[in-house]
Structure 1
Amino acid sequence: MGICDGRVVIVTGAGRGLGRAHALAFAAEGARVVVNDLGTGPDGTPAGTGSPAAEVVAEIGARGGTAVAHGGDVASAAGAAGLVDCALDTFGRLDTLVNNAGFLRDRMLVNLEEEDWEAVVRVHLTGHFLPLRRAAAWWRAEAKAGRTPTARVVNTSSGAGLLGSVGQGNYSAAKAAVLGLTLVSAAELARYGVQVNAIAPAARTRMTERTFAEAMAAPAAGEFDAMAPENVSPLVVWLGSADSAGVTGRVFEAEGGRITVMDGWRPGPTADKGARWTPAEAGGAALGLLAKADTPLPVYGAE
């Protein structure tokens, strides 16, 4: 018996890395898991044959768990619909959606092609929105039928979405937008029994190992592997369980053994003239306020 015993959980991008770790962790806690993965390379292009989703399903089965593979594109309406329908047709219900799928196409802004901008925003942002919309429609219907669910959504943002990251304008923008989507959906869906939270994880995956090769290196034998994806999954499983009742619209950083609640934008120093400022007055007021404000954290990769 685990904290997700009997729940049905979807994890997107679950063939490798963080998604695989989440899927295995949910199954270990008693969940029946829909393992989604399109099977692409780290940049979203086709990557050979075989199904990483099927491999994870087999791994869950070998450990005594229950799972089913789904290979659809979650950033398409048809793929997102098929994903939710897969959970409903196979297991008869859906309790938790973990939006995790994504890939990178890093470039400095002046070299960033429109195609690479759109591809990254599509998978990270639209790939969150479409499965969430489909799942929310089913949960709303359940609530209106008198069967209010204990539903959970865990979205995946990033430190790049919180602070920005040099060379990752497309990824940073998409991950920042995921935070906005999280806040809005948490407010809109609460009446239907749905809680929505986001994580900003740091771990060794295909997406990070080239960008942060030195920091992401595996430790010596016997040492705690602070960058293992499995370190992030316990928080995700808890957020996806009924035990997280009352927690919604929040953002957590998770890395190694550290969990941090992120506060987000809050009003800082304020000046109110009570009338319209001149440009010179507005500038003077702004400089005075900046002198009182906290210094912002640096963008990742900035000198």
Structure 2
Amino acid sequence: MVRAGSGGLVADDFVEKGLVGIGWGDIGTLDEYDKKSAIESAIREEYPDWPTGRHRSSSSQLQRFRLGLSVGDRVVTYDSSRRIYHVGTVESDYLHRPDLLPEYPNVRKVAWVGVVERDKLSVATRNTLGSTLTLFRLSESAADEIERALAGQAATPENDEEDADKDENTILADSKSRAIEFIKDRVNRLDANEMEQLVAGLLRAMGYKTRVSPTGADRGIDVMASPDGFGFESPRIVVEVKHRSSTAMGAQELRTFLGGRHDNDKGLYVSTGGFTKDARYEADRAKIPLMLMDLDELVSALLEYYENADAKTRTLLPLEKTYWPAWAD
């Protein structure tokens, strides 16, 4: 699969000009680079604001386009506006031809042989074709089904609609799980001060006003939250935030935190390293209401109240909403 830009924007150009192409034209011809690491260095220099993962992914795809395709290989590109896959055969080695399609100067000549309608493919195959990568290898089963469809031999199974619901629900569950792990990764990369600000932002999203202690001695209070922001009105929530600890917080740390609390205080102890069993037991028997929040629980709360989060909090943790088809029972 070689994607023709976002939404298959240049699929018609691919077919009309008899080629497939990919971008990253600012680094020039790939023939200048003797190995993948050289491509990655060029990309890093040309696009310094990109994250490291994007540098690596881009260099991998460029190297694969240059060396991973052979004359005679099948190639597919997708036109999402018409929901069709163009199928062709690679006819050339790698070429650098910005004159053919300036935005996609790294090309291979292709003889296009036909199209396959997306709706004619099984749900399983459609799911495997959903990657957003510019270039990726199809599974053997997906490639075989496309070849059969191209020959007019494929037919959508009678129970495909039922399978679609099952498969899409499985994909949704998997996507949610991955998304949460990515969010946890992002939260975990914050430094200690940013984590305190994030927890304060969560409390503001829940309707409280907050004060974050300045760096230095805080007598066991990193954040204080209350209806008035000064702690005069109840509930007065005192918060301790421990971030990037190599070990789970134990009972002794909780006892230290609880030592200076007033009878009417409410406690929140956030530890991205988690808590020991003894610590959770200590929290249950604490003299004041005390909630323990590990990384999983923190992210869960952030997702629940993110719609109410202010700009400062959203800057610390930028998230965007994704919509998914829903079915009535």
Which TM-score applies when normalising by structure 2? 0.19
Q: Higher relative contact order by CA 8 Å / sep ≥ 6: 1 or 2?
A: 1
Structure of higher CA gyration radius: 2
